[in-house]
Amino acid sequence: MEISLIGAGNLAWHLAPALETAGHHINEVHGRQLKHARQLISNLYDARTHSDLNFAESPSQLFILAVSDDAIESVCSQLVLPEGATLVHVSGSQSLTSLANWIDIYSDVPVHTGVFYPVQTFSREQPLIDFATIPFCIEASTDTTRQLLIQIAQDMSPIVYTLNSEERLRLHMAAVFACNFTNHLLAIAHDLLATNNLPFDLIRPLVAETLAKGLNTDDPASVQTGPARRRDQTTMGRHLSLLSTQPDLYSIYQLISERIQRESV
């Protein structure tokens, strides 16, 4: 499949090489920052940068919008695609209907639309991710487009789901709790230790074991431990006393502890 990428950020950095490894060809990369597009194509076979959003003469059949959710409509308003091209976004929360509506408004030629959502967190600093372990969630405006996207996803991963926009939004919400919120709690723990001149290394084994237990059970609630699970009011009171000068952390500790106790009845 001949493919062009619109966006050269964290996800594109990993997705483009994975597509080429799977046997597809990246023709062009457009990035808001040209230097990022140039860095990305340096990892690809013979892709070139594309300076604007006019792809009318592009040989590509599939165009992947790897941009932030807030930028999708703005990009669509400037995008010029070949007739009959397929345009997909990679968002967990933006609906397919929104993309299709924007294309109907802004495109002068018929374009197929879809969603090609890999359920993973990406950053340029990490080694290239093995997509064989990543679930893909597919949605499309037609059966033909859906089958096309399923095939491309299966070229990279055996884990492919077809989800509608509502299901994908709920998945994305759960992912925020599991990924973003969990990492923020780790950052809080890091800062609490650093404030008291204690190394984060002291809890690395604990965190690793906790995550391993949670991921290796059908119900993470079944392996919950800690003072809230034990209803140890004395220990929780001591912790809350230490947090009395940090009302936001006090509230977080209290809210999560109360919820653990309710769920542990």
Whether residue 194 has pLDDT greater than 90: yes
Same domain, 156 and 225: no
Residue 88 pairs with which residues in a beta bridge?
Answer: 64, 114
Same domain, 213 and 186: yes
Dihedral angle sign, alpha carbons of residues 21, 22, 27, 28: negative
Question: pLDDT tens for residues 33-76?
Answer: 999 999 999 999 999 999 999 999 999 999 999 999 999 999 99
CATH code: domain of residue 82: 3.40.50.720
Residue of 140, 134, 139, 144 whose CA lies nearest to 19: 134
Question: Domain residues for 213?
Answer: 169-263
CATH code: domain of residue 223: 1.10.1040.20
What does the pLDDT read at residue 157? 98
Residues in the chain: 265
What does the pLDDT read at residue 83? 97
Same domain, 101 and 154: yes
Same domain, 136 and 175: no
Mean pLDDT for 260-265 is 88
What does the pLDDT read at residue 264? 80
Same domain, 225 and 131: no
Q: How far apart are CA 8 and CA 5, in angstroms?
A: 8
Kindly indicate the confidence band of residue 107, based on its pLDDT and cuts at 50, 70 and 90.
Answer: very high
Whether residue 265 has pLDDT greater than 80: no
Whether residue 211 has pLDDT greater than 80: yes
Same domain, 66 and 183: no
CB 150 within 8 A of CB 138: yes
Question: pLDDT tens for residues 136-168?
Answer: 999 999 999 999 999 999 999 999 999 999 999
Same domain, 93 and 150: yes
Question: pLDDT tens for residues 16-33?
Answer: 999 999 999 999 999 999
Whether residue 215 has pLDDT greater than 90: yes
Whether residue 189 has pLDDT greater than 80: yes
Q: What is the mean pLDDT of the chain?
A: 97
**Which single residue is written with the structure tokens 């509506």?**
101
What is the side-by-side order of every strand in the sheet holding 86-89?
48-49, 25-30, 2-6, 62-65, 86-89, 112-118, 136-140, 160-162
Last residue of a domain, one of 101, 132, 163: 163
Last residue of a domain, one of 163, 192, 227: 163
Which amino acid would we find at residue 51?
S
Same domain, 141 and 211: no
- Residue 38 Cα distances to 13, 15, 29, 59, angstroms: 11, 15, 8, 20
Same domain, 71 and 96: yes
Mean pLDDT for 154-183 is 98
What does the pLDDT read at residue 28? 97
Whether residue 112 has pLDDT greater than 80: yes
Number of domains present in the structure of the chain: 2
Same domain, 249 and 203: yes
Same domain, 69 and 144: yes
Last residue of a domain, one of 163, 188, 220: 163
Same domain, 6 and 128: yes
CB 82 within 8 A of CB 109: yes
The pLDDT > 90 percentage for the chain reads 98
